[in-house]
Amino acid sequence: MLHLFYSSSSFDFPLSLSVETLHVDPKLTSASASFQACQSEKHLGQFYTLPSAHFRPLFPHGLPYRYQQQVKTFNEACFMVRPPALEVISYLKKADYSKPALRYLFYGVKGSGKTMSLCHAVHFCYTQGWVVLHIPDAHLWVKNCKELLPSSYNSARFDQPLQATTWLRNFRTTNEHLLSQIKTKRRYVWTKRESTDEGRPLGELVNQGISRVKSSSDVVGALMKDLRLQSSQPGADFRLVVAVDGVNALWGRSTIKKENKSVDLEELTLIHNLKKLMKNDWTGGAIITTLSQTGSLYTPKSAYLPQELLGETGFDSMDPFIPVSVPNYSEKEFESAYLYYLDRKWLQHPQSRTEDGKKELSFLSSKNPSMLDRICGFL
């Protein structure tokens, strides 16, 4: 059942009808089958609800913290359909997957919705049945590392077992149904006694990594390599989407110290493997990334443009990529968000229902999505 209500004047309604009448509903509920119908320009500014069957597996990690709290409060996950995400989805639809993987980069000011756009695009890929390799925040891998082990595979590098195991667990939750179908292509030897043979399902590889914490970073590396090789093959029956949030961490600096010496990013196994994945020498998939200043180290607060955050090396590695700008809400989107909050009874303050209150909200938050969320939290 699909009911669409338009929150502002894209119909020929008289303008007085669109705002004061509070039973105008900005949401559109959709079953996953007609999900495809919702992803077009006609539905810009409206919210669509993620079916809970999709929500659990797809986003064990990767959503902004405040949004996760909102989902718990409202008991539903609603995404707003916005131009940046739609743009990337349209490219994904049009792209030729025998060509090298295309790289997309979401950039914008703090709190403008980059992570949400990324998650929207990832959800689209998930509904298409792709394998989702989602790294929630690359910055988490370069700072606050409690345990650093020398790598078993390459003695010059360092492993991060904790981060690797958490990520593998989440990866397994997301791609449960596909892991049993894809087989490994090579034989991996972990220790003298343990090895994974060729032809075993990938699920076994992942389980191996989760149970044997010591070799988990190497498992991550092997997983990435395998998926990359396999999706490049012409007969592959799956596509790979690599989604990295905060990709500028890969070329920034790290605060991890080993014996009082700062660790170089090249020496971390996880980062090294991820960088290899970022190169577009494989086919049959897409790489969607976002920039993030919030978690990044040693960057000024006002930096949000690609070159500032990626740096010289980052830009040269990511080049050529398609930068997609994620601006603050437009008028229509702001109205939609406001009506959504009203609809969910999130705005309790009596003055927030007035026209003046709405203007005040718009001014205070300067239509920045996260600011609006924070301010409405008080009302």
Candidate list 3, 94, 177, 192; residue touching another protein; CB under 8 A: 94
Q: How far is the CB of 303 from another protein (least distance, A)?
A: 9
Written as six digits, the tokens of 155 are: 């003695």
**Taking CB under 8 A as the rule, does residue 100 contact another protein?**
yes
Candidate list 25, 204, 308, 360; residue touching another protein; CB under 8 A: 308
By CB under 8 A, which span of 178-186, 245-253, 304-312, 332-340 interacts with another protein?
304-312
| Nearer CB in complex with another protein: 175/280 | 280
- Ramachandran sector of residue 302 (left: φ over 0; alpha: ψ -120 to 50; beta: rest): alpha
CA torsion through residues 155, 156, 157, 161, sign: positive
- Interatomic CA distance for residues 45 and 117, integer angstroms: 13
- Ramachandran sector of residue 278 (left: φ over 0; alpha: ψ -120 to 50; beta: rest): alpha
- Inter-residue contact 321 to 104 (CB < 8 Å): yes
Q: How far is the CB of 322 from another protein (least distance, A)?
A: 5
| Nearer CB in complex with another protein: 3/94 | 94
**Can you tell me whether residue 243 is helix, strand or coil?**
strand
Candidate list 99, 185, 186, 258; residue touching another protein; CB under 8 A: 99
Candidate list 321, 334, 338, 340; residue touching another protein; CB under 8 A: 321
User: For the window 64-93, what string marks contact with another protein as x by the rule CB under 8 A?
Assistant: ---------------------------x--
| Nearer CB in complex with another protein: 157/367 | 367
- Please report the DSSP string for 281-343 in residue order: --BSEEEEEE--STT-SS--TT--SHHHHHHHHHHHHH-S-EEEE-----HHHHHHHHHHHHH
Count of residues engaged in binding another protein, rule: CB under 8 A: 22
Helix ranges (H only) for the chain are 15-20, 35-38, 52-58, 65-74, 83-94, 114-127, 161-174, 176-179, 202-211, 216-232, 269-278, 306-318, 331-343, 355-365, 369-378
| Nearer CB in complex with another protein: 109/122 | 109
By CB under 8 A, which span of 118-126, 134-142, 218-226, 303-311 interacts with another protein?
303-311
Q: How far is the CB of 120 from another protein (least distance, A)?
A: 19
User: For the window 138-167, what string marks contact with another protein as x by the rule CB under 8 A?
Assistant: ------------------------------
For residue 105, how many other CB atoms are within 10 A of its CB? 23
**Taking CB under 8 A as the rule, does residue 266 contact another protein?**
no
Q: How far is the CB of 319 from another protein (least distance, A)?
A: 5
Q: What is the DSSP letter of 1?
A: -
By CB under 8 A, which span of 165-173, 270-278, 311-319, 332-340 interacts with another protein?
311-319
Cis peptide before 320 (omega within 30 of 0): yes
- Interatomic CA distance for residues 331 and 162, integer angstroms: 44
Pairing of strands 77-80, 102-107: unpaired
**Taking CB under 8 A as the rule, does residue 4 contact another protein?**
no
Amino acid type, 55 = F
| Nearer CB in complex with another protein: 305/371 | 305
Residues that bind another protein (CB under 8 A): 91, 94-95, 99-100, 102, 107, 280-281, 305-308, 316-317, 319-325
